[in-house]
């Protein structure tokens, strides 16, 4: 049972950390765009979201497998 809880917590970490980092980077880019009227790097932000989505999906699968 404790090993299942460990994997569940690991899955939650895999979901929260990449998505929180992506949100922080996205907000910094939007604030920079609004403050200095610099172009918004849309392609880079979309690529970042795709990169962050992989560990998040793995974390969701890990949570789903461990505690149902």
2-36 vs 42-67: helix axis angle to the nearest 10? 160
User: Could you give the CA distance from residue 27 to residue 6 in angstroms, rounded to a whole number?
Assistant: 31
Q: What is the pLDDT of residue 68?
A: 66
For 55, half-sphere exposure in the C-beta direction (CA atoms, 13 angstrom radius) is 17
Report DSSP state, residue 1.
Answer: -
Structure tokens at 41: 């790097």
2: pLDDT confidence band, cut at 50, 70 and 90?
Answer: confident
pLDDT in tens, 19-60: 999 999 999 999 999 999 999 999 999 999 999 999 999 999
| Contact residues for 48 (Cβ-Cβ < 8 A; gap 6+) | 22, 25, 26
């Amino acid at each position: 049972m404790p090993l299942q809880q460990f994997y569940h917590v690991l899955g939650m970490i895999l979901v929260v950390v990449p998505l929180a980092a992506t949100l922080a980077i996205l907000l910094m880019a939007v604030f920079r765009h609004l403050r200095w009227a610099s172009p918004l790097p849309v392609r880079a932000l979309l690529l970042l979201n795709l990169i962050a989505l992989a560990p998040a999906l793995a974390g969701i699968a890990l949570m789903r497998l461990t505690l149902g």
